[in-house]
Structure 1
């Protein structure tokens, strides 16, 4: 995927990305300021809890930014098709360009994307072969960050000992209950909304199918699985090292050999 930046000029998409960024920024600033750091100073929680929260938050925003700006697999204007693979390509009936099978034309972006899963307004980008792994990481870390936020909010309200050194002059402490409720509400919405999406994405990867292919296939085709799940995940994440599946700071390597395997649109 390299360092190529892919921009989609869509006002609705940028609004959706701004909402996600605001939720991330609110909880990343609020939870440590009101809960983690004060209780750490009074030795109610260990430093490892703060490090964990910031690491998950960093992975979440990194996967969001990279998934939003990464090239999902847009085909070049004049692709160089090897003679031995020409039977694996087809002509798009919308843009009249050659594309590998399992590609799809995105009407929002106006071009074909290799192994396109869907166009996601929440990252203002298509989810395709080259950034699908980042989208999966975004789903995972959003779920994890939302869970930790809800857990710390619950502990703040019901479990942790009262603070003895509360700076009442600070805004976050003067409006603690209101900010706690806002954070909890956003955590519930993000966790619940992302759960179904993440589950569907995992099911698709295991079945070696995209969302578009699943919507256009019958039930018998969807139940077929010709690859072990380790192989399908390795192809999506570009590595067979499972620990690297969780790291959004690396570069993805191409492991898939051909585009014609399994079902295609």
Structure 2
């Protein structure tokens, strides 16, 4: 199943996504010049350490781009409702379209999304049934890259041997301390924020509850029984090779559960 493209025209979302790309570019450009390449040339670190950093950074930006353009589960204008599921669809009071229960209308995107979790300005897209796994993948690689960057910053200042050859004609070495501090500050902000977000997302999957339902205290469907966490994980990560969900190039085979089964089993 190919990845369906979904593009949102939102200047605020473009600005937020631009900030994320700026942080990624800053660490990808300056960390190797300040830490990785100099210490590799003096044989303080191995080539594997350098290549792993670039690999994680590459996976991080691929996950960001895929999550930002993936269709979150947008409902078509004239959805085909199975006869056996008509009682489990409802009318949206904002766009006057039929939608399955647990869908939500996004005011920024202007349409309803199946099992919408929230609209994320940092990817300029909704997080819904079809791209939730990509959003979790982005959180995973962002957390990994931030941790890797903070570890390199710490080792450069307190663990690695001092560099013997320093070219003071290069800008990055003249402003080494300031760049390291900026990298550490951004790494801490990203790590703390993403860790909290990643935790809430995983607990939501375990409890079969979206972020919107948490905010609404499930007042509209408080009696809805919760599905087993194995089923919710299969719905989010796909039915095949769930253990390989972190590979940013794979395609997910979705698990389509009838809405009457999802709401009453």
TM-score (normalizing by structure 2): 0.92
Measured in 2, the distance between the counterparts of 1:169 and 1:130 equals 50
* Partner of residue 62, structure 1: 62
1:208-227, Cα deviation, whole Å (9 max, x unpaired): 111111222369x69x7430
Aligned to 1:226: 227
Residue of structure 2 equivalent to 1:255: 255
**Which stretches in structure 2 are left out of the alignment for 5+ residues?**
none
SS in 1 for 2:105: strand
Specify whether residues 262 and 217 from structure 1 end up closer, same or farther in structure 2 by C-alpha distance, changes over 3 A only. Answer: farther
Q: Name the CA shift for 1:218/1:132 in 2 (closer, same or farther; >3 Å).
A: closer
Residue aligning to 2:136: 136
Q: How many residues align?
A: 262
TM-fit CA distance, 1:235 = 1.4
How far has the Cα of 1:8 moved from its partner? 1.1
Distance 2:253 2:179 in 1: 43
Q: 1:57-112 deviations in whole A, cap 9, x for unaligned?
A: 11111111111111111111111222222222211111111111111111111100
Is the 1:92–1:98 Cα contact (8 Å) retained in structure 2? Answer: yes
Q: Counterpart in 1 of 2:149?
A: 149
* Contact map agreement 1:239 1:245 (CA 8 A) in 2: no
The answer to whether the Cα contact below 8 Å between 2:85 and 2:259 also exists between their aligned partners in 1 is no
Equivalent residue of 2:259, what SS? coil
2:60/2:145 contact within 8 Å kept? yes
Report 1:1-265 matches (<5 A): 2-217=2-217, 225-227=226-228, 229-260=229-260, 261-262=262-263
TM-score by length of 1: 0.92
- For residues 31 and 259 of structure 1, the distance between their equivalents in structure 2, rounded to whole angstroms, comes to 49
Q: Distance in 1 between matches of 2:226 and 2:71?
A: 28
Q: Distance in 1 between matches of 2:246 and 2:100?
A: 28
Q: Give distance in 2, aligned partners of 1:64 and 1:172.
A: 27
1:157 is paired with a residue of what secondary structure? helix
Counterparts of 1:147 and 1:183, CA distance in 2: 11
Instruction: Indicate conservation of the 8 Å contact 2:240/2:253, yes or no.
Output: no
Offset, 1:47: 1.5
* Inter-partner Cα distance in structure 2 for 1:16 and 1:184: 20
SS in 2 for 1:164: coil
Root mean square deviation, CA, Å: 2.1
